[in-house]
């Protein structure tokens, strides 16, 4: 499936992605976007109906195994999401340690390389509106943004509501603005470029919620540092 040499604008890339960014081999505008609960498209554990105490037992049982003793720390880091729905916390945990923390690392690598082109990171947490007749993933699942942008409602088995159509127009707006090179100043969404400190740590990321977006300072720093202490950092992302 992944045989061959990746080509960008006719240039063969002989480096890994992260190394190519640090070179930089191709200095072009970079957009990194993912959904906040990627795996909710097909969660391998249905924890939606779990009472909170049972969900906390799952966390402790998972993250207190040797050599880890992080159950209570994971629970605290995702306490707000757990209180809404354990399924929201479950899918967010999976997305963070397997993808979203890696996205921040990618953006930081590009920033350290002194890209002259803009760098954008978007965390998309806008999930489909649910009706009694539609049994869809509950949260911001994998490909919902792409499907909404191209109005692939049949493929997603979704009858779009007014809120879903609003999200569709937002994604179309963002994609078009990025293509034409004016994403950073394009109203009404004001997608902002990555800012960083001297060490290259990302401090400004756009978070899309139902109804709009907002920049987020110190984007998931605490959560990503916790996962890194558990070994779920670049030793994990680039082989996952």
Residue 10 in any domain: the answer is no
Phi-psi region of 225 (alpha: psi -120 to 50; beta: other; left: phi over 0): alpha
From the list 38, 35, 45, 125, the residue with the least C-alpha distance to 80 is 125
Residues 128 and 201: beta-carbon distance below 8 Å: no
**Residue position matching structure tokens 């963002």:** 174
Into how many domains does the chain fold?
1
CA distance linking residue 224 with residue 29, whole number of Å: 25
Q: pLDDT by residue (tens digit) across 80-94?
A: 999 988 989 999 999
What's the CATH code of the domain at 232?
3.40.50.1820
| Whole-prediction pTM | 0.79
Q: pLDDT by residue (tens digit) across 40-72?
A: 876 656 788 889 999 999 999 999 988 888 999
Residue 1 in any domain: the answer is no
Residue 19 in any domain: the answer is no
């Amino acid at each position: 499936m992944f045989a061959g040499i990746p080509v960008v604008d006719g240039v063969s890339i002989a480096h890994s992605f992260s190394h190519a960014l640090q070179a930089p081999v191709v200095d072009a505008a970079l957009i990194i976007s993912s959904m906040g609960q990627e795996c909710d498209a097909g969660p391998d554990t249905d924890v939606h109906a779990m009472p909170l105490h049972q969900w906390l037992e799952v966390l402790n049982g998972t993250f207190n195994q040797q050599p880890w003793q992080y159950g209570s720390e994971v629970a605290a880091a995702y306490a707000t999401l757990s209180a809404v729905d354990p399924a929201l916390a479950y899918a967010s945990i999976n997305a963070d340690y397997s993808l979203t923390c890696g996205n921040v690392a990618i953006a930081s690598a590009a920033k350290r390389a002194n890209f002259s082109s803009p760098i954008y990171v978007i965390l998309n947490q806008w999930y489909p509106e649910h009706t009694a007749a539609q049994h869809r993933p509950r949260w911001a699942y994998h490909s919902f943004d792409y499907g909404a942008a191209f109005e692939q409602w049949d493929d997603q088995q979704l009858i779009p509501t007014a809120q879903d159509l609003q999200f569709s127009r937002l994604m179309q707006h963002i994609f078009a603005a990025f293509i034409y090179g004016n994403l950073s100043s394009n109203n009404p969404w004001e997608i902002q470029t990555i800012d960083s400190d001297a060490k290259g740590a990302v401090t400004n990321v756009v978070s899309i919620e139902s109804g709009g977006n907002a920049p987020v300072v110190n984007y998931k720093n605490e959560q990503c540092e916790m996962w890194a202490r558990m070994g779920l950092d670049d030793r994990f992302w680039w082989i996952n």
